[in-house]
Amino acid sequence: MPKILIADELSPRALDIFRSRGVEVDINVGLKKADLIKIIAGYDGLAVRSATKADKDVIAAAKNLKVIGRAGIGVDNIDIPAATARGIVVMNTPFGNSITTAEHAIALLFAAARQIGAADVSTQAGKWEKNRFMGVELYAKTLGLIGCGNIGALVAERALALKMKVIAYDPFLSPERAIKLGVEKVELEDLLARAEVISLHTPLTDKTRNVLSADAIAKTRKGVIIVNAARGGLVDEVALRAALESGHVAAAGFDVFVTEPAKENALFGAPNFVATPHLGASTNEAQENVALQVAEQMSDYLLAGAVTNALNMASISAEEAPRLKPFSRLIDKLASFAGQIADEGLEAIEIEYEGEVAHLNTQPLTATALASLMRPLLPDVNMVSAPAVLKQKGTPLTESKRDTSPIYGSLIRIRVLTGGRWRTLAGVVNAGAAKIVEVKGMALEADFHPVMLFVNNSDKPGFIGALGTMLAEANINIATFNLGRQAAGQDAIAIVGVDQVVPEAIQHKLRALPQVRYVKVLRF
């Protein structure tokens, strides 16, 4: 039974979901790092919000951890590269608090435009400074969105309902999607020059850090309003303070800061600045939604292999998992075969999908193949870590698809370049079982066996007899025997399933046969 540690406060209904699905749960909130390190090895999953830090030290101690689930969007508290290297799936719940966050951004926009915070303090102090708080209408103003993903799109929808014009800078926003949302896609320079209000909705990355730098702020229209309910670090806080004081920026509303908790900040006390303590996702509805989603996602992964909203692995829906399973077994064995005969390392990899399998979600199949290919050299690699390891090594990977297969309903082919030579294998699923149907371009049909002897030889008389005699003399029983060849007298292969491991001495004798070019014992 999988075991989960809930390390931050979650809705009690999340606990109910885990237990109803057959997942054992411990709740231990507020652990210090040293205490978390002491116990984390006993868990398959870790559920967190933003308080618990799953850093590299915690992950190094998590010997059995398979998944980290973040109830929310931001994963700044999780070391994703470290988790990926250990083969741990990192999931978040990007949609559970989207509406709440979008509403908060709009609330900040109204508060900044109408100076609601300062007006509230003044009014409750009995000052009644009606002439002091002159606001601006949002009607017909141009809103510039930096980032137009899920939350940005929801903000756009609400801004359009306010009769604002919306422009958006987002390299991943397609023209078709922009038209559907009713926004105009623009470049950043154009947005800075045109927007009367700017709202940020992008993750914090090396490319987006200080996207509103001092230079960028200087390029904005005088009187612009800036809202940040996304991530601290997207705006140069010192530069914004100066722009607020000079009046170039008319007002700003921030829910996030570079350093949190923000006990002090360059923006605090600036004119026409309103702040909230990272409340974007803080509604009862949002906290319930993200807790339920993370419980469902983690349970689905641990119990059924379904992957949803993973940040370091291709997603696999619960509906896809059963359809992918036989092909996953096939590509695992094919790639294991290929990896075991890649004696001089992996110089390049090509994976081909033909027929019905080409119409499935092949990303997890490719990840499985990469793990199996690399496992002879890196025993701890898995389908989560394999793509990152391959990229780090710089090994070229090509994936291709054909809608039909000339002979089979579905076929998977793997080609590896090793020692300057390509080695090719292909297989199919037949009646639920994985079968080899091609080696080095030669057709044959062979079942996988726990121990197999692979021989590449010249097709000359005497080889089969000599091979059988050697195995018999060594008291090695043959379970299956499959042959393939290019043509009479040319290149040939033998794949022999055996019930005992072939000793090195017998392999040496086989290699000494004049017809033999290559011998390898394979284990599956």
Asked whether the domain spanning 450-524 has the same topology as the one spanning 3-96+285-304, the reply is no
Q: Quick check: pTM over 0.75?
A: no
Query: Which pLDDT score is estimated for 440?
Result: 92
Query: Which pLDDT score is estimated for 155?
Result: 97
Cβ-based neighbour number of residue 65 at 10 Å = 23
Each residue of 190-205: pLDDT tens digit? 999 999 999 999 988 8
281 pLDDT band, cuts 50/70/90, is: confident
Least confident of 111-120, 218-227, 285-294, 420-429: 285-294
Query: Which pLDDT score is estimated for 317?
Result: 77
Each residue of 77-88: pLDDT tens digit? 999 989 988 989
Active site residues: 231, 260, 278
Is the bond into 261 cis (omega within 30 degrees of 0)? yes
Cβ-based neighbour number of residue 461 at 10 Å = 8
In the CATH scheme, what is the code of domain 450-524?
3.30.70.260
The CATH fold assigned to 314-448 is: 60s Ribosomal Protein L30; Chain: A; (3.30.1330)
53 pLDDT band, cuts 50/70/90, is: very high
Query: Which pLDDT score is estimated for 314?
Result: 79
Which CATH architecture is the domain 98-275 placed in?
3-Layer(aba) Sandwich (3.40)
The full DSSP string for 210-277 is TSB-HHHHHTSPTTEEEEE-S-TTSB-HHHHHHHHHHTSEEEEEES--SSSS-SS-TTTT-TTEEE-S
Residues 390, 295: Cα–Cα separation, whole Å: 31
Each residue of 360-394: pLDDT tens digit? 999 999 999 999 999 888 887 888 888 888 888 88
Spatial CA neighbour of 133 closest among 155, 116, 146, 152: 116
Instruction: Give residue limits of the domains in the chain.
Output: 3-96+285-304, 98-275, 314-448, 450-524
The superfamily CATH assigns to domain 3-96+285-304 is NAD(P)-binding Rossmann-like Domain (3.40.50.720)
Query: Which pLDDT score is estimated for 402?
Result: 95
Each residue of 91-121: pLDDT tens digit? 999 888 889 999 999 999 999 999 999 999 9
What does pLDDT average to over the chain?
93
| Mean pLDDT along residues 216-241 | 97
| Mean pLDDT along residues 476-499 | 92
The percentage of residues in the chain with a pLDDT greater than 70, rounded to a whole number, is 100
